[in-house]
A = this chain, B = another copy of it.
Amino acid sequence: MLYLIGLGLGDAKDITVKGLEVVRRCSRVYLEAYTSVLTVGKEALEEFYGRNLILADREEVEQKADHILKDADVSDVAFLVVGDPFGATTHSDLILRATKLGIPYHVIHNASIMSAVGCCGLQLYKFGETVSIVFWTDTWRPESFFDRVKKNRQNGMHTLCLLDIKVKEQSLENLINGSEGRGRKIYEPPRYMTVNQAAQQLLEVVQNQRARGEEPAVSEDTLCVGLARVGAEDQKVAAGTLQQMCSVDLGGPLHSLIITGGSLHPLETEMLSLFPVPERQSGSQSAERLCT
């Protein structure tokens, strides 16, 4: 049996009791380590689970899935995923491959950022399409996600923006020199997009659209919610303008950003008022005023 087990969003103890029991009895346990992170590392998980974990990077999962599935028809193999196995990233590929090999699978769900963002008080049913914001480079600055934000706002819906993660990316130098063939890969240090970076990229899109004579769907004053380490003990949430999101300090990864969809339910407004941007970071407008 192949078990896909969600680890939730915080630390080692956010696994479910059922998930932990399965982890402890599987013959091999893989940890998917490229689409999200917990607040603790592999060693802390290994200690709490009492098991060695095999790190599975993108290459392993996408190109060498047969390693993961080896003998899963006669023994139990666990594949651990931060959040839920069908949350922000789906692992359909692995399931389809297992099914083709005649290997049964079982999913043990857990909290996903896709639903846990509800903790800020915005109502989940009012979220439209989720977008991903990627790190821009000097030459690649995609703006297409902005159309989906626009459509959501036109329909009065909130937009959850998942922010880019770069883990185990080969360095440009490495790719140019083609050292891969010689078996020597050089990786960039991991990078996690902050709410500040996402907000700055968004405001650049706004400015580009204005320069082209278009009417942008958001502005500096659009009410947003920045979230960091949702589900962890030191979770941070701050509701304020997109401009404020450029400078609010939410600490370490992972960050997510919500662009609200216009008119709020009174309960949403009241909940957001629990999460003002700290005064010294808030600029001239208080979040409280914005939320009312």
- Interface residues in chain A, defined as those with a beta carbon under 8 Å from any beta carbon in chain B: 6, 8-18, 20-21, 84-88, 90, 92-93, 95-96, 99, 107-112, 114-119, 121, 123-132, 151, 155, 157, 162, 230-231, 267-268, 270-271, 274
B residues near A10, Cβ cutoff 8 Å: 18
Q: Cβ of B9 and Cβ of A14 under 8 Å apart? A: no
- 24 examples of A-B residue contacts, CB within 8 angstroms: A8-B16, A8-B109, A12-B17, A14-B18, A14-B108, A16-B17, A84-B118, A86-B117, A90-B267, A93-B267, A96-B267, A96-B270, A96-B271, A107-B119, A109-B115, A109-B116, A111-B111, A112-B118, A114-B124, A114-B125, A125-B162, A126-B129, A128-B157, A151-B155
Q: Take A10-B18, A16-B14 as given contacts and tell me if A110 and B110 are in contact as well, using a CB distance cutoff of 8 Å.
A: yes
CA distance A116 to B107 in the complex (A): 10
Q: Cβ of B126 and Cβ of A128 under 8 Å apart? A: no
Q: In the complex, what's the smallest C-beta–C-beta distance from A84 to chain B, in angstroms?
A: 5
Of the candidates A114, A124, A126, A162, the one having the most CB atoms from chain B within 10 angstroms of its own CB is: A124
Q: Cβ of A13 and Cβ of B21 under 8 Å apart? A: yes
Q: Cβ of B110 and Cβ of A87 under 8 Å apart? A: no
Extra contacts, 7 of them, besides A86-B119, A124-B130 (Cβ < 8 A), are A6-B111, A13-B21, A96-B270, A112-B118, A114-B124, A115-B115, A129-B157
